[in-house]
Amino acid sequence: MGKTVKKQRPINLDLQTIRFPVTAIASILHRVTGVIMFVAVGILLWILGLSLSSADGFSQAAAMMDSFIVKFIIWGILTALAYHAVGGIRHMLMDFGYLDETFAMGAMTANVTFVITVVLSILAGVLVW
């Protein structure tokens, strides 16, 4: 003999029609780039360990760094690092009170973060290739 409660739930939740605000996308990407960097630490430490193991290991690591796939992975790691750093600075500026914690300011700083990351990503591509 429980109470019957009518809950207003969506009947058909189509995830392809939901549009996230730019602030939500920025927040999700900040978390994703953190996970990417966590995994990247293992990759980079493995390459560093290989290069420091011996002269032959250094030659193997240097040869590996010449392949397109490895350069692409390194570029992706640098892009993730750039976005995570810029997004972290954005969050710190808001936390310290230098930026207003309003939706308008959040949307504007998220867009600025995306633009700065694109510029840094292009610079990282020039550095890698």
What is the tens place of the pLDDT at every residue in 59-92? 999 999 999 999 999 999 999 999 999 999 999 9
Q: How confident is the model at residue 43 (pLDDT cuts 50, 70, 90)?
A: very high
**Whole-structure pTM value:** 0.84
Q: Cα–Cα distances in Å, from 126 out to 15, 26, 48, 59, 65?
A: 37, 25, 22, 23, 15
Tell me the HSE value of 8 on the side-chain side, using a 13 A CA sphere: 0
Burial of 116 (C-beta count, 10 Å sphere; 0-12/13-18/19+):
middle
State how far Cα 127 lies from the chain centre: 19
Does residue 3 carry a pLDDT above 90? no
Structure tokens at 19: 């549009």
